[in-house]
Amino acid sequence: MRTHPPKYMYKVRGDLFHLIIDGIDIDFASPYELYTYEHYMYVKQYLDYYTAEDVKGIEVMSTMKYSSKYTYRFVGPLAIPGNDFFVEVTTRGGSGPFLKKTPGLYIYRPLAFAPKKQFYSPRYIVKNDHGFVDARSTIYWTANVITDKDGKANVFFYTADKPGTYTLLIDGCDMNGNIESIRKKITVK
């Protein structure tokens, strides 16, 4: 009977850590005895192998309410509930811990089409007693400013009610793919 915790193991808040990948406990396939240095390196190998792009979701079962089913299934029906901490990783491939990767291969997942949205900019009336204080942190944003042949454009916007310093962030590109970024400050009194 073991009187003190094993030397080589992953623990979370004092509970034994179990890594489940796509419903398969990686300890099941381990050729090494539990809580040895070799087993510790075996678990580390899986933790280092997956990238964020491979992972679809991560579920953490730390309380007995959520971990008792996992304890019964992966540790055994006679195990003491509440001594184990389970992390289940769901991969995009769904093939469990035996994911095979091709070296140098990258999966490109482009963003889905999104219709253009317009930034809300209030329309002020000529009178000044509109009854509310404008305290917006972002004053104006637009995705499409077209310049003339000299690269100049006029942009108009209302400032907030509070005088102060505003930071202009201008990012853009030309038809040849050249990009530019400018940051300037203006003072409104």
92 vs 185: which has the higher pLDDT: 185
Please, which residues bridge with residue 168 across strands? 184
Higher-confidence position of 155 and 100: 155
Pairing mode, if any, of strands 55-61 and 24-25?
unpaired
Q: What is the pLDDT of residues 85-132, one digit of tens each?
A: 888 888 887 877 776 666 666 677 777 777 777 777 766 665 655 566
pLDDT exceeds cutoff 80 at 185: yes
The answer on 126 and 55 residing in a single domain is no
Please indicate, yes or no, whether residues 18 and 92 belong to a single structural domain of this protein: yes
In a domain, 106, yes or no: no
Q: Are residues 19 and 94 in the same domain?
A: yes
The reported pLDDT for the residue numbered 183 is: 92
CA distances from 127 to 6, 55, 124, 131 (A): 76, 56, 8, 11
- Residue 189's domain comprises 113-189
For the chain, what is the domain count?
2
Beta strands in the chain (DSSP E): 11-12, 15-21, 24-25, 55-61, 84-91, 164-173, 179-188
